Amino acid sequence: MLEELINEHVWFLYLSLGIVSLVIGSFLNVVIYRLPIILQEQWQLEAKALLGLTVAKKSHYNLLLPRSSCPECQSIIPAWHNVPLLSFILLRARCHHCHAKISFRYPLIELLTVLLSFIPVFVYGFTLHALFALGAIWICICLVAIDLEHHLLPDGLTLLLLWMGMLANTWELYTPLPDAVLGAIFGYLSLWIFIQLYYWKSGKIGMGHGDFKLFAAFGAWCGWQMLPIILFFASITGALAGLIYLNITHKGKDTPIPFGPFLCFSGIIVLLWGQSLLSRYLSLWL
């Protein structure tokens, strides 16, 4: 009955998904911009408290308040200038008040959110599998953007991703719950042990703890069996992208390159097409 109803209204559902994804993309822009600022303020307050310095009253700046404003002139952006994609086009990528350029990142995130949101529906249909996968993709968009700009993977996002994976697998949507628990444990410990050995040998910190938590999160989604595939794809794509980046920018080999975006890319690929990838991966060794 439900399947017949979905088939009868499939184009309406796709249209609704596109509109909702645009709105979500607009909110993701808020998270990407504000969360690092909120965390920086929190860390500064904690550092001052530890040093015994005078601590100013914590601001009310959060993901919902105050209303969005221009980063240049601080003028409040009216609701009709905040329509995803459309406002950027109509305003010709400039602030209506001070005419400062609007970053191309905002429409890019919104457009990317829409395009990526259709993929889990194409893979799973309009099911609970697709709904949870949508949540994972939206969180990963935030993680990728923040890590690329700030080299930071906020706990609020990585741990949210981890617990969403656990919740999804209480219904065994992607893997049995015991495999999800082991995936989270092995995901964290495997990278932690590797980086400890790397530090012991080289004296350098090769990776942040946010990467450990992110890898653990994908272990919770996909199960421990998929961890080698995720790490393999992330390492290959990360190495290739790093070589291209260093070659283009002419920076030194010690230039830090965030690993989180490649873990997100590989983790989502495995989440959506993991079983077929696992079969091909095992065929290489068996």
pLDDT tens readout for residues 261-279: 999 999 999 999 987 877 7
Q: Quickly state the pLDDT bin for 65 (edges 50, 70, 90).
A: confident
Measuring CA to CA, which residue among 281, 268, 168 is closest to residue 220? 168
- SS3 string, 138-158, reads HHHHHHHHHHHHHCCCCHHHH
What does the domain layout of the chain look like in residue ranges? 1-126, 129-286
Over 70: is that where the pLDDT of 72 sits? yes
Q: Amino acid identity of 87? A: S
* More confident site: 214 or 204: 214
pLDDT at residue 281 above 70? no
DSSP-derived letter for residue 95 is -
pLDDT of residue 198: 82
Q: Angle 123-125-129 (CA atoms, 0-180°, nearest 5)?
A: 80
Q: Is the pLDDT of residue 284 over 90?
A: no
pLDDT-derived band at 106 (thresholds 50, 70, 90) equals very high
Name residue, tokens 């209480």: 170
pLDDT at 95 over 70: yes
Number of Cβ within 10 Å of residue 63's Cβ equals 12
- If you write DSSP's letter for every residue of 231-263 in order, what string do you get? HHHHHHHHHHHHHHHHHHHT--TT----SHHHH
pLDDT exceeds cutoff 80 at 283:
no
- Residue 286 or 180, more confident: 180
Output the pLDDT for position 96. Answer: 83
pTM of the model: 0.93
